[in-house]
Amino acid sequence: MGKQLLLENINVQGISTLEVYRANGGYKALEKALKMQQSEVVDEVKKSGLRGRGGAGFPTGMKWGFIAKPEGVPRHLVCNADESEPGTFKDRFLMQNKPHMLIEGMILSSYALGANVSYIYIRGELLYVYHILEKAIQEAYDAGLLGKNILGSGFDLELYVQCGAGAYICGEETALIESLEGKRGNPRIKPPFPAVSGVWGRPTVVNNVETIAATVPIILMGGDEYAKIGIGKSTGTKLISACGHLAKPGVYEIEMGLSTEEFIYSENYCGGIKNGKKLKAVVAGGSSVPILPAELFLKTAKGEPRLMSYESLADGGFATGTMLGSGGFIVLDETASIVKNLWNFTRFYHHESCGQCSPCREGTGWMEKVLHRILEGHGKQSDVDLLFDIQSKIDGKTICPLGEAASWPVASAIRHFRAEFEEYVNHPEKIKDVKHYYNMRNLQPTA
C-alpha cells in the first residue's frame, strides 16, 4: 500500500468533526498558507504537478493562473461536487468521511485565488452529504475558520453549499455555473471561459472535490515533495472508485504509476476477480472512457506493463488505450455482456443529454434504439456499422463533452469486441431478452 494523503486517518472515529480533524493535523495547511503570499500558494500547486482529478486531468496550477484579475471585480472558487459519472463515487466517500479536508482545501484555495465568496455545488441525490457539509461548515464558522479575518490573517471568506437537481450535465463546469445561478443547467459556448466570465459573469475557477482536497497535503509537504510521488507528469496520489466483478470493491488511494495488474490482483487493493472468474474488460475512468479488453488493459500494445497514470493508460490513443478520467474503475469478468453493458451506458447518456445540440440529442437516442434492437434479437449485420457511424457523427460536434462521453464507449466496444456484436446479430436465439427492464418500469420497448 502506497502513501495515504487523502484517506489518512479516514477510519479514525469522529474524523468528520472539527475537533477530531484538528487533533489529527487538520487546518495546519491553512495556517501555513495564510502566512504565505497568495502567489506563493499558487506556485506550490504549480510545482506539485497536480492535475484535475475530475476527469480532464488539466494542470491545476496552470488553470489557477488563467483567472482574470480585473480591478474591483470579485472572483469565485466553485467546487464541483456533482459526482455523477457512472462508476465513480470517491468524492462522495471523501466528503462523507472527511468534510473538513474539503473545507480546508476550499479556504486555502480561495485565499490563493483571491476569492472571498466560494461555493460547493453538490449533487441533489447526495442530500445526506449536503447535511454533513453544512454541519462541518458551521463548525468552521464557529471556530473562526470561515467568515471575517480568518485566523487573524485579514482574509475573509463566505462559503456556501448549493444542491443541484440531479442532472449529469451539471458536472460540466459551465452547466454547473448556469445551475448555480438558478438557471437551467445547459452548457455555455466557450469562449469566454469561466476564468474570465464565470459565476455572475465574474472570474471563476471550477475544481472538483478531490483536486481541492489535494491542495491540503501539497501545502503541508510542499509542491516539490508532492511531485516526487507518482511517475512523470502523473504526480501524487489518486482516489479510485473500484466496482464491478471484483473481490474487494471500494475506494482506494493509489500512488500514480502503480501497475494495473497489481491494482486489480493485489490483496492490498482489489484482491482479484470475484469468484475466481477471468478478467474480460475494464472501463478505467468512468463510463465515458473507452473500454479495454483484459490483454490491452494489463499491457500496452508494445507489451509493456500498463500503469495507473494519465500517460500510460492513454498510450496508443483510443486504438489501444483509454483514459484515467475520474477514476471510476469498472471491472467486467468473462460472464459479462459487452453489448448489454454498452446499452446500459447509452440509455444513461440518452436520458441525461440536455438536448441543446442535435447530434447528442438525436444521436444518443438512435444508439440506444439500435442497441436495443440487437438485444431484442432483431438486429441486422449493418447495425454494427450503423452504430459506429452514428457515434462518429456525435464525437467532437457538440458544445460540451457529453456527446463524446456517449460516443467513445460505443466506438471502443465495437473496435475491441465486434465479434460479440455480430454474435448477437447472427444468433438471436442465444439472447436473453431485455424486456424485463421495460416491464418493471411499465415502459414500451422500442421496435
Tens-digit pLDDT profile for residues 226-237: 999 999 999 999
- Residue 443, pLDDT above cutoff 70: no
More confident residue, 171 or 436: 171
Could you give the residue range(s) of every CATH 3.40.50.11540 domain in the chain?
18-228
Q: What is the CA radius of gyration of the chain?
A: 22
- Which residues 6+ apart lie within 8 Å of 83 measured at CB? 89, 90, 91, 92, 123, 126, 171, 208, 209, 326
2 by Cβ neighbours in 10 Å (0-12 / 13-18 / 19+) ranks as middle
Which cell numbers hold the place of 188?
455555455
**Which residues fall within 8 angstroms of residue 240, CB to CB, at 6 or more apart?**
90, 251, 252, 253, 254, 263, 308, 327, 329
**What are φ and ψ of residue 27, in 5° steps?**
70, 5
Cα atoms found within 13 Å of the Cα of residue 263, Cβ hemisphere only = 31
User: 38-49 pLDDT, tens per residue?
Assistant: 999 999 999 999
* Strand 250-255 to 291-293 pairing: unpaired
Cα separation, 329 vs 429, in Å, equals 32
Domain with CATH 3.10.20.600 in the chain: 239-333
pTM of the model: 0.93
- Encode burial over 242-279: b for 16+ CB neighbours within 10 A, e otherwise: bbbbbeebebbbbbbbbbbeebbbeeebbbbbeeeeeb
Residue 364 has pLDDT above 60, yes or no: yes
Options 3.40.50.11400, 1.20.1440.230, 3.20.20.110, 3.90.1200.10; which CATH number does 338-440 get?
1.20.1440.230
Fold of 18-228: Rossmann fold (3.40.50)
Q: In the predicted model, is pLDDT for residue 109 greater than 50?
A: yes
Of 355 and 431, the structure prediction assigns the larger pLDDT to 355
Phi, psi of 62 (to 5 degrees): -65, -40
| Cell numbers representing residue 241 in the block | 472508485
Cell of 441: 418500469
**What is the percent of the chain where pLDDT is above 90?**
91
**Three-class secondary structure of residue 369 per DSSP:** helix
Amino acid at site 3: K
> What pLDDT is recorded for position 301?
87
Neighbours of 337 (CB within 10 A): 17
At residue 433, the pLDDT reads 53
Q: What mean pLDDT value characterizes the chain?
A: 94
Query: What does the alpha-carbon distance between residue 205 and residue 224 come to, in Å, rounded to a whole number?
Result: 23
The whole-number pLDDT of residue 2 equals: 77
> What Cα–Cα distance (Å) separates residue 15 from each residue in 60, 99, 277?
27, 9, 37
CA 425 → CA 76, 172, 185, 273, 444, distances in Å? 53, 36, 39, 29, 22
Domain with CATH 1.20.1440.230 in the chain: 338-440
Query: Over 80: is that where the pLDDT of 438 sits?
Result: no
Residue 240 confidence (pLDDT) = 97
Three-state secondary structure call for residue 102: helix
- pLDDT for 446: 46
Q: What is the pLDDT of residue 56?
A: 81
Given a cut of 70, is residue 442 above it in pLDDT? Answer: no
Determine the average pLDDT of the residues in 240-247: 97
C-alpha cell at 192: 469566454
191 C-beta neighbours (distance < 10 Å), count: 9
Distance CA 447, CA 443 (A): 12
Name the phi and psi angles at 395, rounded to 5.
-55, 120
Residue 437 pLDDT grade (very low, low, confident, very high; cuts 50, 70, 90): very low
pLDDT at 274: 96
pLDDT band at 440 (very low <50, low <70, confident <90, very high): very low
376 backbone dihedrals φ, ψ, rounded to 5° = -85, -5
Q: What is the predicted pLDDT for the residue at 432?
A: 65
Of 3.10.20.600, 3.40.640.10, 1.10.3720.10, 2.40.30.10, the CATH number of 239-333 is: 3.10.20.600
